[in-house]
Structure 1
Amino acid sequence: MTQSANAPSPSPILDAAGVDASEALSILRTALDGADDGELFLEKTESEALLFDDGRLKNANYDASEGFGLRVVAGETAGFAHANEISAAAIRRAGDSAALAKRGHSGIVADAPLATNQRLYAPIDPLLSPSFSDKIALLAEIDAFARARDPHVVQVSASIVGERRSIDILRGDGQILSDIRPLVRLNVSVTVEKNGRRETASSGAGGRSPFEEWIKPERWQAQVDESIRQAMVNLDAIDCPAGEMDVVMGAGWPGVLLHEAIGHGFEGDFHRKGSSVFTGKMGQRVAAPGVTIVDDGSIADRRGSLSFDDEGTPTSRTVLIEDGIMVGLMHDRLSARQLGAKATGNGRRQSFAHQPMPRMTNTFMEAGKDKFEDMISSTKRGLYAANFGGGQVDITNGKFVFQCTEAYLIEDGKITTPVRGATLIGDGATALTKIEMIGDDFAFDPGVGTCGKAGQGVPVGIGQPSLKMGGLTVGGTAV
């Protein structure tokens, strides 16, 4: 995976394009001469998406792209040029353009990333297996199964998406890193109807392991059942009351709230710019005792995992909060250098046409010792937020608004009536201090997360145990 020598080993992507790796490295070295850092990032991606909707194959999309991005970093300035033509001439033009950034050179050349041979996923091709016809047959089977499962089901949508992303990173010291990053996902959505009212719910799962792991009958049937269950629950939901109340959050996907409201505030570029609500709080208590939050891109086969990041740094386990104390940040190479820290393997980019920046990988809160049943029984009046949809967050102050897709009232220590229109309103820094109980039932999300930042989307993992938070503001629709 990682090779370093005076005579470079070939880059698979350059080889396929008929470009000599030695020539590409020579161009890169010229562009980087007198700069702090930089790389030549090459990418070739193929993806396939099939959608079975309304009882028929509605869409079958195939996409292929390739290109490179050449970056020259000098001080806090980055010169970046990219193209979807992989040729020596295009790389040379990009090098000439990116090299204009060198006027900001700090005089300190960054150390190269550490070499790694870790492989967190197999170099599979989800487009080849199973076959195209088998995928269509699977989607048709899911559709038929869902319709037969419950008479209230009136609409079914099932999709399957696979991607094979090949990456080569060339660095000025002759280091060449190559990776093949598979990504798969299966999603099921159902609409149910009763007494003239309709509700829709969905369930998805995926990761960086072969499709065959995700399309076993017991797995996709469980997704169908979960979608139907959620939709049927919401058919009977009443309008959610508004006000301040205790909130119990479910395990797994509800960690999206912590990911958005808190996680971004621990990305190094916001601290480099002084714009995070957590800036200057290293070593201080920022959360309730018992709260430990980690970002770890080195977990095998997880959606947010990478063998090395998009700058070539091996991914790692980075503790952000330990027992309520802020102890770490997520860094790319630039923020690490500016803040006198080590890169943590969090330099990520959406594609060759984008520059890397500090991004989360798999971000989660570790389990505690409390029982979910005790969280409920200790709540006189509150909300059980079992599942979340989207939300909005202001990174500079951590203020958030999140919609619950499945929620229930808690009354006198019991889960009672399902509610619709529930939202959680607050700010991440305050919410961390309001955590009163941490469950022993940690779970990751099923592998469906995509995180957006500065116009770039990357796949991520999310996880948490169940939590009890005291005195959150709940927005509702009841009048």
Structure 2
Amino acid sequence: MKEQLLQVAEKVMNSARAAGVECEALVQKKRFTSVAVEAGKVTFGSQDGDYGIGLRIIKDRRTGYAFCDEASIDYGLKQAVQAARFGKLGHYAFHDNAKYDGTRSIFDNKLATLVVEDGIQMARDMIEAGSFDSRATPSRGGLSFGTSAFAVANTNGVMIYDEGTFVGGHVMSVLKDGGIIVNGDEGESSRMLSFSVEDVGRKATEKAIAQLGQKGIETGTVDVILRPDAAFDLFSSTVLPALYGDNVRKGESVYSGKIGEKVASGAFSIVDDGIHPKGLNTFIMDEEGYPSQRNVIMDRGVLNTLLYDQFSAVDGGGKPTGSAMHTERNESGTTYKVPPTTCARNIVFEGDTMTEEEMIRGIKDGVIIEHVLGAHTANRVSGDFSVAIYAGFRIKDGEIAYPLKGGMLGGNMPALLQNASIADNYKLVEAGMSAAAGYIPSLKLENVRVSG
């Protein structure tokens, strides 16, 4: 695989030099297996993949992008040159930073050799584990796993390859008790085959059981604990876009002009770590071939840096941070079919932690939330949000009192981070609406508006 992709990348560079254009190429090859679960049964399993080349060129200080396959490289270069005619004028250049640490990405040989039949059996094990209560049915979900390999090259001499494995499992368990219907969701993602699919199924049903006895919530201002999935869903839809250098340059961020200022709680730091040992987006390099690095965005609440891809750094007067990914807005994963842009790799909250139990004991009146709905509708410029509580519980006098029946949660995430604290129950999470990922604990926010 490595030799194949590097040979193709070299072929692109030779063609670009012959055509007299500066060029950067992403050669990407993915192989993945998907298994679906519906109504307590495995409904299908399939294996698929994608293989192609993304071409970005610079000509007359303008950039153009196109994608192609190995047989149509010259045509792809011509398309990129044509696209550059309409590109924005700038002082663009491809980097020549090749100071890679030499280590390989996260790769699990066992995971890489799984086949469709293995996935079907894993899904069946997940269903069986979630069926321990006769009232419950693991009704919707599935598994996916596979490998992702890519090579990046440019006409400044960069030539680098990396590959990795991934696996994810999710299931929603539906529990019917008389006329009452409740749901429980559980999911795990990893670069290694390091979690139990049986645990995923069992926990989904346990969460459904815990939703029995739901009560409404009255409107008020309370303390809120966001468990990892809900915390990252909100964070990645509000605060994270505001930390991208291009948005700050455009004035589309609450953090414009605030480098060096205290903008969040001093109890923790926010890091984007492209070399995190567990990160879902950990690779030797980003998708422009820039060496991956650890970026301390907020250092104990002080805004320390912003995230940049190569060209947004040129526009914004910053430096690349190894944060380039070929990703479409509102889509997970990356694809050679679109040009690179700034995207957080592995967001990590680091600092003073406590157990979630300690957090709960410290709250007289509040809520704890598993999942929210509608985070993608948040205002990415101001950080304002209004979301539905999908699964949560009322906290009274330091104890979980009862599950919530609906409710809304609203506020301004950048402001709420100024008095936030973190737990120690870290979990690998995906943004869902972008390629960003995180290693996130539960997050406690003070004085949040809730309504029934």
TM over 0.5: yes
CA distance in 2, matches of 1:459, 1:105: 27
User: Separation in 1 of the partners of 2:380 and 2:261?
Assistant: 19
Equivalent residue for 1:290? 267
Give matches, 1:112-151, under 5 Å.
112-116=96-100, 117-122=102-107, 124=109, 126=111, 129-147=113-131, 149-151=132-134
Task: Note if contact 2:123-2:197 (Cα within 8 Å) is conserved in structure 1.
Answer: no
Partners in 2 of 1:393 and 1:75 — Cα distance? 39
Instruction: Give 2:57's aligned residue.
Output: 72
Contact 1:264 1:395 in 2 (8 A): yes
Given candidates 160, 163, 169, the residue that maps to 1:177 is: 160
The structure 2 residue matched to 1:339, chosen from 316, 326, 348, is 316
Q: Which runs of 5+ in 2 are unaligned?
A: 327-333
Alignment pair present for 1:48 and 2:33: yes
Match of 1:243 in 2: 220
Distance (whole Å) between structure 2 residues aligned to residue 172 and residue 355 of structure 1: 17
Which of 354, 359, 362 is the equivalent residue of 1:375?
A: 359
Other-structure match for 1:189: 172
1:180-225, Cα deviation, whole Å (9 max, x unpaired)? 232211222211111211122221112222x4x33xxxx2222122
Match of residue 269 from structure 1: 246
Alpha-carbon distance change, 118 to 340 in structure 1, aligned in 2, over 3 angstroms: farther
Do structure 1's residue 365 and structure 2's residue 349 form an aligned pair? Answer: yes
The Cα RMSD (Å) is: 2.8
1:351 aligns with 2:332: no
Number of equivalent positions: 443
Q: Which deviations, in whole Å up to 9, do the C-alpha atoms of 1:135-192 show, x marking residues without a partner?
A: 2223223323322x11221344452212322212121023221122322112222111
Partner of 1:409: 394
Report what 1:12 is aligned to: 4
1:82 aligns to what?
67
Match for residue 410 of structure 2 among 401, 425, 437: 425
Structure 1 residues 92 and 366: CA distance shift in structure 2, 3 A: closer
Q: Deviations over 1:372-404 (max 9, x none)?
A: 445334433222224445513211111112333
| Counterpart in the other structure of 2:15 | 27
Q: Give the aligned partner of residue 5 of structure 1.
A: none
User: Contact conserved, 1:204 with 1:223, CA < 8 A, in 2?
Assistant: yes
| TM-score normalised according to structure 1 size | 0.83
Query: TM-score of the superposition, structure 2-length normalised?
Result: 0.88
Which amino acid is the alignment partner of residue 45 of structure 1?
A: K
Residue of structure 1 equivalent to 2:136: 153
Given the alignment, which residue of 395, 408, 426 partners 1:444?
A: 426
Partners of 2:268 and 2:60 lie apart in 1 by 36
Secondary structure of the 2:130 match is helix
C-alpha distance in 1, partners of 2:40/2:399?
A: 40
- Once residues 278 and 268 of structure 1 are traced to their aligned partners in structure 2, the CA distance between those partners, rounded to angstroms, is 10
Match of 1:321 in 2: 298
Note the alpha carbon deviations across 1:102-131, whole angstroms, 9 max, x for none: 88353x7454133312322127484x6333
Partner of 2:202: 225
CA distance in 1, matches of 2:41, 2:371: 29
What secondary structure is seen at the aligned counterpart in 2 of 1:239?
coil
More off after superposition, 136-145 vs 259-268 = 136-145
Offset of residue 327 of structure 1: 0.8
* Structure 1 letter corresponding to 2:307: M
Separation in 2, partners of 1:430, 1:76: 40
Assess if the C-alpha contact under 8 Å between 2:105 and 2:162 holds in 1: no
* Partner amino acid, structure 2, of 1:355: P
Q: Which residue of 1 aligns with 2:79?
A: 94
Range with bigger deviation, 291-300 or 362-371 = 362-371
In the other structure, the counterpart of 2:382 is: 397
Q: Structure 2 CA distance, aligned partners of 1:103 and 1:249?
A: 41
Residue deviations 1:67-125 (CA, integer Å, cap 9, x gap): 2111124798531111245434334433533553688353x745413331232212748
